[in-house]
Amino acid sequence: MKKLVSAPALFAAAGVLLVTGLLLAFLYSPMDASTMGYSQKIFYYHAPIAETALLAFGISFVAAILYLRSQNDKWDRLGVVSIRLGLVFSILVMATGMIWGKAAWGTWWDWEPRLTTFLLVCFLYTAYFVLRSVVDEEQRRATFAAVFAIIAFIDVPITFFATRFLPAGMHPTVITSSGTGMPGSMFVSFFISMIGMTLLLVALIRRDLGIEELRDRVADLKHSIGG
C-alpha cells in the first residue's frame, strides 16, 4: 500500500493523467466556437493549475491550525512545503493566464476581480516567507507563521468565488450549482487534467516533506555534535 502512495508512484500516475488529459483536450474535446481556436486548449491546464494552487494554500491553512493545537513540527513543515508549492503553482497560473488573456481578451493583464484577488494571494503568501526569515527562534517562528497562514487564507475563498460575487469580471464561471456548463468531452478532459494536477501536488508535497525532515535531522545532528 505504501508503494502505491509513494512519491514515485504518485509522480507516475500524475504524469499519465496529465498526458492523457492533454491528448484528450486536443484530439477529443471540441474546438472553441470563438476566435481563440487552439489557444483555448490552455484552459485544460490553466484552470487545474489554479485550483491546485488554491488547494495547496488550503492544506497550509489546515496545517497551521493543527500546529497551533499540537505544537508538532511536522505540521509546520507541511505548512512551509504547501505554501512554497502553492506559490510555484501560482506563478504557472499567472503565466498561463496571461497567455490565455492575450488570446481571449487581447490583453496580458486586466484588474478584474479574480486576477486582482489572486495577485493579492501571491503577495500574502510571499510575505509568509519574509516573516519566517526575520524570526530566529524556531517555535516562535512556527507559531507566528501559522497565525499568518490562517489570516492569509481569508483571501483564498474570496478568489475562488470572485466570479460569482462580482460577475462583471472577464473570467467565466465554469462550475456552478446547476452543472459545469461544458460538453461531456470537455468535462472529461478537464476532470482528468484536474485529477492529474492534484496528484502532482500530492507527489511534490510527499517529496518535499521528506527533504524537509532530512534537513531537520541534519540540523539536529550538527547541533548535537557542536554541543
Tell me, what CATH number does 211's domain have? 1.20.120
Asked if pLDDT for residue 106 goes beyond 80, the answer is: no
User: Higher-confidence residue: 111 or 13?
Assistant: 13
Asked if pLDDT for residue 46 goes beyond 70, the answer is: yes
| Neighbour count for residue 132 (Cβ, 10 Å) | 17
Q: Whole-prediction pTM value?
A: 0.84
Residue 179 pairs in a beta bridge with 176
pLDDT attached to residue 224 = 78
pLDDT digits (tens, 9 = 90+) for 135-190: 988 899 999 999 999 999 998 888 877 656 655 555 555 555 555 556 667 788 88
Find out whether 94 and 109 touch, Cβ atoms under 8 Å. Answer: no
Q: Average pLDDT, stretch 47-66?
A: 94
Task: Please state the domain count of the chain.
Answer: 1
* pLDDT interval class at 33 (50, 70, 90): very low
Identify the domain containing residue 194 by its residue range: 14-28+40-172+180-226
Q: Average pLDDT, stretch 74-83?
A: 95
Average pLDDT, the chain: 83
Asked if pLDDT for residue 31 goes beyond 70, the answer is: no
Percent of the chain with pLDDT over 90: 45
Distance CA 188, CA 184 (A): 6
- In a domain, residue 7? The reply is no
- In a domain, residue 4? The reply is no
Unique residue bearing C-alpha cell 531537520? 216
- In a domain, residue 197? The reply is yes
- In a domain, residue 6? The reply is no
pLDDT attached to residue 150 = 96
Find out whether 76 and 118 touch, Cβ atoms under 8 Å. Answer: no
**Which triple of cell numbers denotes residue 104?**
481571449
Find out whether 125 and 57 touch, Cβ atoms under 8 Å. Answer: yes
pLDDT attached to residue 182 = 62
- In a domain, residue 33? The reply is no
- In a domain, residue 3? The reply is no
User: Higher-confidence residue: 63 or 181?
Assistant: 63
Find out whether 117 and 152 touch, Cβ atoms under 8 Å. Answer: no
- In a domain, residue 102? The reply is yes
- Region of 71 (left: φ > 0; alpha: ψ -120 to 50; beta: rest) is left
